[in-house]
Structure 1
């Protein structure tokens, strides 16, 4: 089982969204895509944003990063 849950991760990602605004992430699919993309970056030797343990898998690190608020998910419609 995934800890934290998808709904917990969605709350973390959407915590800065004002009441009535469109949420950044509104489905589990979006959470899966964001963490998978970050895991691929970690596999390609990106530096982790949170402390890691020896042998910890990239997906677990990506989930920890998202849960701690270190990752910012940007919607496709957003230009930055």
Structure 2
């Protein structure tokens, strides 16, 4: 079995996160301790409705093994 590095939440606590795609983008949020709740995501800048906060690619993609629903039936709301 492959070895997994030990996770240390001290590495992320209080750090602001910036977009991987644009290093000039502002740090939008940070992860910090919330009293009696644990770690939480807190805005690092003023946000307005519609602001993009996070963009991530899927970690895992797969196709179902069984039959699929034809797209024309999906659009009609049959399923």
Instruction: Tell me whether the two structures share a fold, i.e. TM-score over 0.5.
Output: no
Structure with more contact order per residue of length (Cα contacts < 8 Å, sep ≥ 6): 1
The structure richer in helix per residue is: 1
The structure richer in strand per residue is: 2
Larger Rg, first or second structure (1 or 2) = 2
